[in-house]
Every structure is written in C-alpha cells, then in structure tokens.
Amino acid sequence: MPLGDFTPLLARPARAGRADGPATVSRRRPRTGGLSSERLSPFVLIAPAVAVIVLFRLWPLLLGVNFSFTGDGARNGSAVGLDNYAELFADPLFLGALRNVGWLVLLLPIAVAIPGMLATFIYLRVPGHRFYRSVYFFPAVLSPVIVGSIFNLLLSFDGPVNSLLELAGLGPIDWLGDSDVAMFTVVGVHIWATFGMSLVVFLSGFATLDPALLDAARSDGASLPQVIRHVIIPGLSRTIQFVFVTTMIGMLTSMFGLIYVMTSGGPGGSTYLPEYYIWIQQGQMNRPAYASAASTVLFLVMLVVGLAQVSFLRRTGRED
Amino acid sequence: MRGARISRWLIALPMALLALATIYPLVFTGNAAMKTRRDYILDRFAFTDTLRWDNIATAWTSAGTARYFLNSVIVVAGASALLLLLGSMAGFALSHLRFRGSRALFLGCLAALFVPFQVIMVPLVRTMADTGLVDTYPGLILAYTAQYLPFTIYLMTSYYSAIPTEITDAARIDGNTTYGVYRRIMLPMGRPALLSVGVLNALFCWNDVLIALLMMPSAEHRTLMVGVTSLRGQYSADIPTFASGVLIAAVPVLAVYLFFQRRIADAVTAGSTKG
C-alpha cells in the first residue's frame, strides 16, 4: 500500500551530537566486576533486528542479483551469463512495462502539484480547512485492494461513472477495457488514493515555514501565484524534494494491488508495470531466475530515477 | 481584503467537490451493500431506506471471509507486536548506548529502507520455502517484520534520541541494568511513538496483498485482502454481496482511522521534516 513507501529520505543519524552520551559499559564495569551481560547488552538489544534485516532484506538483494545470472527450468542453477537480461529486453511485455514507467515519470509533476496546491490552500486557511485535511487523507489508509475493488464497480463499462457521463451527454468510456485508456485510469485511481499522503507531508513542511515571511509578502501586495513562486516553493524545497522521491517510489512499488485487482495487467498487457511483471514471471510462469533479472533492472531504474531527481531538484533549488 | 475573502470561497468550492469525490466511492459501496440485487440493478444511486444486513452476513459466512478475517488479525497482531519489540530495542540501543559499529548499523538500516520488496521478493520467497516458512503464520509475520522494521527502527531511534541522557543516567544510578533502563524508562516513555508506529504498521500489514499472496499460497491461510480479490470473480453477478465483502475489509481501517488519525499523520510525516 502507498503508506509503505514513505521512507524518510532526509534522515540523518539520530545519534549525531550525542557523543557525550553515557559511556555505560566502562563506567559500570569496575564496580561490578566482569558483568559480561551488561557489556554485551547493546548487542543483545540490537541483534534480533539486525538478524531480521540482514537475513530477509539485504541478503536476498545479493542473492537475487546473483540468481539473475542463472537459468530456469531445464537450465536450473547453471550460469547463463546475461541471457536473462537479453531475453528481458526483447520481451514486448517488459518493454511495455518500462514504457509505462516512463509515463509515470511524466505524470509525476501532476501527482506532486495536486497535493502541493491543496496543501497551500489548506495552509492559507480556506473555509473548512480542518475538514478537508482529514477527508483528503482518508483514502491513503485504504488498501489498494479495497480502492481497486470499489473503482472496479464504479468504472465498469455499464457502471455508475459512465451512466453519469451519459447524463451529461458524453459517450461511455471503456475505462479499464481500452488499452489506450486503462493505464491512465489506474494511475488516476492511484493518485486519488495517495494524494492525501503527500498532502500531509506538505502540511508538515508548511509548519516549519516562517509565517513572518508570508505576512511580509502579503503586506507588500504579493498575489497568490507570487507568494507561491517566491515564498512557498523556496521555503519548502526540501519537502518538495521529499514528496517527489516518495511519490515516484510509491508509483513504482505500490501499484501492484491496483493492477492485480483492476486490470491484471491487461488489456493486452497495456497496464504492466515492472513489479507486476516480476510477480507473473516468478509465480505464474515459474521462472524465478528470470524474474530476478527483472527485479535487478527495477532496482537500477529506481536508483537512477531517484538520484536523477535529487540532483535535478538540488540544482533548481539552488537557482532560486 | 474583501477580494481575498471572495477568492478563498472560490477555492473552497472545488475543494468541497474534491472532498465529495474522496468520500463518495466508499459511501456508494456501503450503500450498495445494503441493497437487494434487484434494487441495485434498478437504481444504483438511490440511497437505501432500510439497513439490510443479509448481504453482509452472506459475504461473512459463505465466502470464507470469516476465516480470512481471523488470519489477518493473527498475522497483523503478531507482526505489529514483533515490530514494536524489535524496533524499540534497536532504537534504544542506537540512540542511547555507545558501542562499536552503531553508526554503521544505523546507516545499514537506512539503506534497507530503500530496498523495495519487489526487488527482493523472488530470493526471499525461495529462502522462506527452503526453511519451511512459506504458508505458515510465522513466515508471513517474519516477512512483514522484515519489510517494516527499518522504518520502525528509524522512527524509534529519532524519538528516543530526544530523551535526555540525564534520565537514563539517573535510572542507572538507582541500580538499573541496561535492560532495566529499557523496561522501566524507554518502554513507558516511548509510548506515544510506539502507538503511532504500531498503528501505522498494523495498517500496512492489514492492507498488504503482494506479500500475503506470495507467502500464503493455500486457501485456508489467505488474508482478508487476498480473500477480497477472489470475491469479485465469485460474486460478479451479485454486486451487493461483493460490496459487502469490500465493506467488511474497509470498516476496521475506517475505525482505526477515525480514532488514530493524528497519530497516523504524525508517523507518516516523521521522516519528512528531519534533517
């Protein structure tokens, strides 16, 4: 679900500046003799967490990369070099999935601008801002499965949305059955479901903005677009950066549920994303090694997109 | 000033429409769940005048939903508890104890945050299968714990860092060991953060479908979200029952949201403003 992807990008080790912390071990040792359990206590406290993370998160990453150079089925386990990757980039389904990633990158500014604008209005206290804040956030806590199921109902060809369109004199749209439309429908539903999350992040960024700056701009007679351009965007550059990266990660890693429920990758493979492709290959097609190659490509894509965004936003941030 | 006030109302109108678009889909689903099949086909939009619970009862009993619900509760409770325990222990160690390699461990934990599940799922499932953990409750609980632990540790570490060392020093002078400090000081003082991150983790686990699909292949171990995905095929001609299944899966989330809205938002934004 979307929530899972709000990783604290701008984190800095919380221990910074804590060098004067208690030198527990050495202080207690002389008094109580050996006391090895006390001496080992930090490791005892942290060992279970480290074990879980290493075993089930970091180690599989290496294992997967390694695995992607081996074969499936008859060639199970034998080294096949780059065969999996060559096959991957010859598969129209996978290329389609990558093209859809391209669409996501292009749609990203919209997915960031919508919550950004709404957060600005809420911050400027439009009537009912408290209400909007909690209502907008609500879909973000719903599972993609629930969201997808509901929109399956609403967007089916003879469904309520089309009958509303008919009332307005507009022809029915095959939201999920038309291969030119389906991907945008799914992305639209994803944005509907997650914009509240970015909104809340924006609002917490606004809380760090100096209100005196806004007052000064207003008393100088600045219009709303001017305030946004010259006060809010520069003041929130870190938050905007954070939202860009987390929204991108969210689009690349938490749309599985929606695709699974709404389109199953169809029609005609038009709504495949890499994560769905990986799932199909490893489960339905029983080709885990090949799926690992797709995983490795997804990881590289995310790394490249993430780093490109950060450096791009840094540069534009500096120009301001 | 007057102009500003008018433009505020102009903005408020589309925002109100958007709010409607945010709530209405769930209202529609709830309304559909209360109708008979015939009523739904005749008029989907009209609000039902009677509350009929038999669709809910059908969805609950006949489609295995009750079993799936129980599975979800077991797994979510297990994973949330384990996450809180491991996360608070590690957070305490990383924030207040000085030991060799603590900084490297913290950075490793941050790095793990950026490894998405999709990238590791193939080898992870193989490892789980090799150790006999696939299709067991502990297996899924461990998978969830691994997935959300880095975030939990990050949050607990930054929360605990704000607790002054004077307090832990005083506890030590009173004769507490490190474990005593953890149990008597850190756990009680960490309660607000533990509640926030606990609620958030529970939501993550409850809502997940991909990990559950991979880890629980057999029908009797399905979680509720996986169960909901199979309802659609089962009740394609009976929308009210299908809507009832969706509602059963959504209501616990709705309840948690109404109670803990602020806490959820706090936990979500905790990462964004630091640094």
**Domains within chain B, CATH numbers bracketed:** 65-269 (1.10.3720.10)
Are residues B86 and A239, on separate chains, in Cβ contact within 8 Å? no
- Asked if residue A16 is part of any domain, the answer here is no
Q: Which residue has the tokens 């292009």?
A: A106
Q: What is the pLDDT of residue A156?
A: 85
The Cα-based distances of B55 to A38, B30, B34, B70, B244 in angstroms read: 59, 11, 7, 20, 6
Q: Which residues pair with A71 in a beta bridge?
A: A76
Are residues A139 and A267 part of one domain? yes
> Which chain A residues are closer than 8 Å to B244 by Cβ?
none
Is the N-terminal amide bond of A267 cis, ω within 30° of 0? yes
* Band of pLDDT at residue A256, cut at 50, 70 and 90: very high
Are residues A164 and A48 part of one domain? no
Are residues B275 and A53, on separate chains, in Cβ contact within 8 Å? no
What CATH number is given to the structural domain containing A158?
1.10.3720.10
* Band of pLDDT at residue A216, cut at 50, 70 and 90: confident
Are residues A277 and A220 part of one domain? yes
Query: Where does a domain end: A32, A67, A102?
Result: A67
Are residues B9 and A127, on separate chains, in Cβ contact within 8 Å? yes
* Band of pLDDT at residue B57, cut at 50, 70 and 90: confident
pLDDT at B96 over 50: yes
pLDDT (tens digit, 9 = 90+) per residue, B184-199?
Answer: 989 999 999 999 999 9
B249, B254, B260, B263: CA torsion to nearest 10? 80
- Asked if residue A292 is part of any domain, the answer here is yes
pLDDT (tens digit, 9 = 90+) per residue, A151-209?
Answer: 988 888 888 888 888 888 887 888 888 888 899 999 999 999 999 889 999 998 888 88
- Asked if residue A232 is part of any domain, the answer here is yes
Q: For the residues B248-275, what does the mean pLDDT come to?
A: 81
Residue A92 distance to chain B (closest CA, Å): 20
- Asked if residue A295 is part of any domain, the answer here is yes
Q: Which of residues 141-180 of A touch B (CB under 8 A)?
A: 141-146, 149-154, 160, 163
Q: Are A120 and A228 in contact (CB under 8 A)?
A: yes
Tell me which chain B residue has its CA closest to the CA of residue A29.
B177
Please state, as a whole number, how many other Cβ atoms lie within 10 Å of the Cβ of residue A145: 29
pLDDT at A254 over 50: yes
- Asked if residue A221 is part of any domain, the answer here is yes
Q: What is the pLDDT of residue A1?
A: 38
Are residues A135 and A56 part of one domain? no
* Band of pLDDT at residue B103, cut at 50, 70 and 90: confident
Q: Phi and psi dihedrals of A159, rounded to 5?
A: -90, 180
Are residues B265 and A137, on separate chains, in Cβ contact within 8 Å? yes
Are residues A147 and A222 part of one domain? yes
* Band of pLDDT at residue B272, cut at 50, 70 and 90: low
Are residues A102 and A56 part of one domain? no
Are residues A215 and A148 part of one domain? yes
Query: Where does a domain end: A67, A102, A119?
Result: A67
What was the ipTM of the complex prediction?
0.89
- Asked if residue A93 is part of any domain, the answer here is yes
Are residues A46 and B32, on separate chains, in Cβ contact within 8 Å? no
Are residues A314 and A284 part of one domain? yes
Are residues A59 and A96 part of one domain? no
Are residues A237 and A172 part of one domain? yes
Are residues A304 and A174 part of one domain? yes
Are residues A22 and B225, on separate chains, in Cβ contact within 8 Å? no
Q: Which residue among B122, B182, B250 sits closest to A295, beta carbon to beta carbon?
A: B122
> Which chain A residues are closer than 8 Å to B214 by Cβ?
279, 283
Q: What is the pLDDT of residue B13?
A: 83
* Least confidently predicted of A14-28, A29-43, A125-139: A14-28
Number of domains in chain A: 2
Alpha helices, DSSP H only, in chain B?
Answer: 2-33, 37-42, 54-62, 65-96, 102-113, 117-130, 137-161, 165-173, 178-181, 187-189, 191-207, 210-215, 224-234, 239-269
Are residues A33 and A126 part of one domain? no
First to last CA, chain A: 35
- Asked if residue A290 is part of any domain, the answer here is yes
Show the domain range for A260: 83-319
- Asked if residue A172 is part of any domain, the answer here is yes
User: A257 Cβ partners below 8 Å, 6+ apart?
Assistant: A1, A143, A144, A145, A147, A148, B207, B209, B210, B225
